[in-house]
Amino acid sequence: MDHLPEVIQELITKSNEAKNNAFCPYSNFRVGAALLTDDGTIIQGCNVENASYTLGICAERCAIFKAVSEGYRHFKAMAISTDVEKLYSTPCGACRQIMYEFGSDMDVYMTRPDLTYIKKTPRDILCYPFGPEELRMLKSGEVPKVDGDLNDNKMVDGTGDAKAHKKHKGDTAIPAQ
């Protein structure tokens, strides 16, 4: 498996091991995650469910909250695993938001039990994000600097919807009724 760095192979292996601690008596669906910090430490997380379903936590957020509580703020990569042969382990929207806060460009390995995977960044899977930078701009009233995503035509091009694009370019305003 020389196509992946050893540390990433270990990350994926540890995300599978992490499933062993999953607390999922309500869904019986185990999820594991492993997070690679900027100093090379690997931190594992799993899903932790609650009798009031909405108060549980996913494996990805568990790993990140855990790492932050240990003082880490920047991450290089995350691996996610389930027991399902047929699908890659893609994170829910809430987990994408938490990943984005701490590592919009980290490599996220969404794996299958056979250890094949899809690799994306939080920025890829939370396109047109609302994150810390956006919130800062919202509060300061600034225009975005680096990332054009939030105010250029690429956003509309993104849909390949030429008509919407043309309209957007013209910035035609819709009058309040």
Supply the minimum distance, in Å, between the C-beta of residue 116 and a copy of itself. 5
Instruction: Report the largest interatomic distance among the alpha carbons of the chain, rounded to a whole angstrom.
Output: 62
The C-alpha atoms of residue 26 and residue 11 are separated, in whole angstroms, by 27
Q: Is 49 assigned a ligand-binding role in the annotation?
A: yes
Q: Is 16 annotated as a binding residue?
A: no
Q: Known catalytic residue: 133?
A: no
- The footprint of a copy of itself on residues 13-72 (CB under 8 A) is 13, 16, 18, 20-21, 23, 25-27, 29, 44-46, 48-58, 61-66, 68-71
Task: For residue 68, count CB atoms less than 10 angstroms from its CB and return exposed for 0-12, middle for 13-18, buried for 19 or more.
Answer: middle
Q: How far is the CB of 147 from a copy of itself (least distance, A)?
A: 11
Q: Which of 6, 10, 17, 60 is catalytic?
A: 60
Q: How far apart are CA 14 and CA 45, in angstroms?
A: 10
Contact positions with a copy of itself (CB under 8 A) in 126-145 = 126-132, 134-135, 137-139, 141-144
Task: Verify binding: residue 75, a copy of itself, rule CB under 8 A.
Answer: no
Rounded Cα distance between 96 and 129, Å, is 10
